[in-house]
Amino acid sequence: MKSFLVLQNGTVFEGKAFGKNHAKIGEVVFNTAMAGYQEILTDPSYRGQIVTLTYPMVGNYGINANDMESSQVQAFGLVAREYVSLPSNYQSTETLHQFLERHGVPGIEGIDTRKLTRILRNSGAMNGGIFPSGAYSPEFLERVKAHPSMIGLDLAKEVTTDKAYVFGNHSLTKRNVAVYDFGVKTNILRLLDSHGFNVHVFPATTQAEDLMRQGFDAYFFSNGPGDPEPCTYAIENAKVLLQARKPIFGICLGHQILGLALGKKTTKLKFGHRGGNHPVRNLETNKVEITSQNHGFHVLEDGKTGTPTTRLNLFDNTVAGLKSDSLPILTVQYHPEACPGPNDSQYHFGLFYDMVTKLSSTGGNS
């Protein structure tokens, strides 16, 4: 069947449908990763978005159970230059088409993704819709224009866990960490577990006081979708936990929430950072890491003392990490767990564990 990708600015692309045969509207963004479409689609940070892959082929290695970053497809749609219907990989259990169809997500192929990416770079990420149909209808654009903007949307509540749970192998020799789930990826939990933590995951709206009563050694603020500013519950909980002076590690949306709790401001990027090739300079070591990123908002540099920038995105010099001169916190805007992407930044989980161990050995004094 024909399918139409309709952008908010009136641009229309005609292609072919795959995946679920129904319409879906969201913010159209692009990702420059060359592989990892399954991890991208199941990353909760993509909730509410239609993902364009700049790599021209998708589906060539199929789908397997090990590459799920959550229990379902989180993206609202997938845009590709060419869909490969016959995957070749020994781990593959189904095609990408079958996977998207099973999870109720439409895809569109056969369009000029280079042209689309240039539009998004020049005009910025914008709302759009995938409409499987035999013919174009002006109603498609009307529906896209009526869709709410990503600014002001609290999507963390849509992707967070319904109830608390434990993850990984627990033992008396490991440190206990409470994870705020704003859309946490499975590989983050794996790496916390493998780096010496008993991992306890909690819903996004869990009160900080409830966690403090349980005596955790540290707290983790996860990645997630949407605008950080409407997550007022998370910002207030972060302020309370900061005063408890226990180590806190924040990634992506968690980094933004901690930044807001520290008195900084956030704003929307023009077209976001999404891909596996983003260079970041560690200002503490002067080394450059190639990172995996997926976010549309960022923390603004304000020049204030006390909360210096520790990492810098070398594409546009935006803030990619923060610390506090007086509080035991570690934040990064990118994804050190990768999946997909390079492993240059995976050492952050070791830094976090060392921070917890050091603070515990000194009786909790920073």
> Does the annotation count 335 as an active-site position?
yes
For residues 132 and 18, what is the distance between their CA atoms, to the nearest angstrom? Answer: 9
Q: Is residue 316 part of a domain?
A: yes
Q: Which two tokens stand for residue 231?
A: 């997550």
> Does the annotation count 278 as an active-site position?
no
> Does the annotation count 14 as an active-site position?
no
**273, 337, 339, 348: the active-site residue:** 337
Provide the pLDDT for residue 305: 85
Amino acid at 302: D
Q: Which residues of the chain have pLDDT under 50?
A: 366
Per the DSSP assignment, residues forming a β-bridge with 34 are: none
Range of the domain at 82: 2-146
For residues 346 and 173, what is the distance between their CA atoms, to the nearest angstrom? Answer: 22
Q: Is residue 366 part of a domain?
A: no
Q: Which two tokens stand for residue 27?
A: 């913010």
Provide the pLDDT for residue 348: 98
- The answer to whether the beta carbons of residues 228 and 295 sit under 8 Å apart is no
Indicate whether 135 and 203 sit together in one domain. Answer: no
Provide the pLDDT for residue 366: 44
Residue count (the chain): 366
For residues 53 and 278, what is the distance between their CA atoms, to the nearest angstrom? Answer: 16
Final residue of a structural domain among 122, 146, 170: 146
For residues 357 and 362, what is the distance between their CA atoms, to the nearest angstrom? Answer: 9
> How big is the CA angle at 75 (ends 74 and 78), to the nearest 5 degrees?
145
Q: Which two tokens stand for residue 257?
A: 């929430």
Provide the pLDDT for residue 109: 98
For residues 60 and 95, what is the distance between their CA atoms, to the nearest angstrom? Answer: 9
Indicate whether 96 and 59 sit together in one domain. Answer: yes
In the chain, how many domains are there? 2
Indicate whether 89 and 162 sit together in one domain. Answer: no
**27, 335, 339, 348: the active-site residue:** 335
Provide the pLDDT for residue 364: 59
**200, 229, 252, 278: the active-site residue:** 252
Residue 77's domain is classified under what CATH number? Answer: 3.50.30.20
Neighbours of 188 (CB within 10 A): 26
Indicate whether 92 and 182 sit together in one domain. Answer: no
Residue 254's domain is classified under what CATH number? Answer: 3.40.50.880
